[in-house]
Amino acid sequence: MENTQREPVITIRGLYKSFGDLHVLQGVDLDVFKGENVVVLGRSGTGKSVLIKIIAGLLTQDKGTVNVLGHEVSSLNEKELRNLRLKIGFSFQNSALYDSMTVRENLEFPLVRNVANLKRSEINEAVESVLDAVGLLQTINQVPSELSGGQRKRIGIARTLILKPEIMLYDEPTAGLDPITCLEINQLINEVKEKYQTSAIIITHDLTCAKETGDRVAMLLDGHFIKTGTFEEVFDTQEERIKSFYDYNFIQ
Ligand SMILES: Nc1ncnc2c1ncn2[C@@H]1O[C@H](COP(=O)(O)OP(=O)(O)OP(=O)(O)O)[C@@H](O)[C@H]1O
């Protein structure tokens, strides 16, 4: 199906963001359609995290429009923004788990905080269901310090899934993990898409992750996307900056 016929979930046009003299985003355009994983690639400091923070309403742009699930993010009031954020699962680089809480308590936390009047049995069922989805039911009574980096990453993803988000934002999902664990996380990202029918932006400089998880890949450079397409379309190029990114980043 042509993109023009598909339902957009994120539409970004002419996005600019600077911090003082540092011009980070300089005319970013991006579409994410329902049910697709879009990988945002770019070197360190190119503004990938800034971009997804603007999408989630954690930062405000200087110029341009960001429409998420039919809402112009910068024009939402606090309550509307909170409601929109419930539909966005933000998987942070550091997994952002509470060290003093068990896995069960970490997963219950967003649920109890955001959904009123849940019965204990419903909470248990929701926690067990997302843990099962990430393959870690056996860790339910452990604390984060007892888990490996890959397991913590999975629990972080489970914690975002518990609110059944429509959009997932993955910030460097494979950073700091060994190659086998990276492959498992890539697989999990694809499983999440199938099972929870999510659309996603995945920011990474891991090209294996981009190849495995991205329906489309968008290359961020000098403040805007210089090329967007399938992994093969983006890297089948003579453009020197894209070729050198590939040569320095492709591991296998
Ligand atoms: N709140 C802020 N205040 C000032 N500067 C910021 C702020 N947030 C980000 N920046 C700067 O904007 C630039 C882009 O940051 P960003 O975190 O988006 O990079 P990135 O592409 O995600 O890099 P990495 O791959 O290293 O995470 C960096 O130079 C960063 O220092």
pLDDT, position 176: 87
Instruction: Indicate whether 83 and 172 sit together in one domain.
Output: yes
Q: Show the CA angle centred on residue 36, arms to residues 34 and 41, nearest 5°.
A: 130
163-212 pLDDT, tens digit each: 999 999 999 999 888 889 999 999 999 999 999 999 999 999 899 999 99
**Which residue's C-alpha comes closest to atom 13 of ligand 1?**
45
Instruction: Tell me what the pLDDT averaged over the chain comes to.
Output: 92
Share of the chain above pLDDT 90, in %: 79
Confidence of residue 250 (pLDDT cuts 50, 70, 90): low
> At 241, which CATH number?
3.40.50.300
CA of residue 22 relative to chain centroid, distance = 24
Asked if residue 55 lies in contact with residue 202, where contact means CB atoms within 8 angstroms, the answer is: no
CB of 153 closer than 6 angstroms to any ligand 1 atom: no
**Which residue's C-alpha comes closest to atom 31 of ligand 1?**
45
CB of 50 closer than 6 angstroms to any ligand 1 atom: yes
Instruction: Indicate whether 171 and 159 sit together in one domain.
Output: no
pLDDT, position 252: 45
63-90 pLDDT, tens digit each: 999 999 999 999 999 999 999 999 999 8
Q: Count structural domains, the chain.
A: 2
Instruction: Indicate whether 118 and 49 sit together in one domain.
Output: no
Enclosing domain of residue 113: 95-164
Distance CA 39, CA 138 (A): 31
3-58 pLDDT, tens digit each: 456 899 999 999 999 999 999 999 999 999 999 999 999 988 899 999 999 999 99
Instruction: Indicate whether 197 and 247 sit together in one domain.
Output: yes
Instruction: Indicate whether 79 and 197 sit together in one domain.
Output: yes
Distance CA 91, CA 168 (A): 7
Instruction: Indicate whether 19 and 37 sit together in one domain.
Output: yes
Lowest mean pLDDT among 137-146, 226-235, 237-246: 237-246
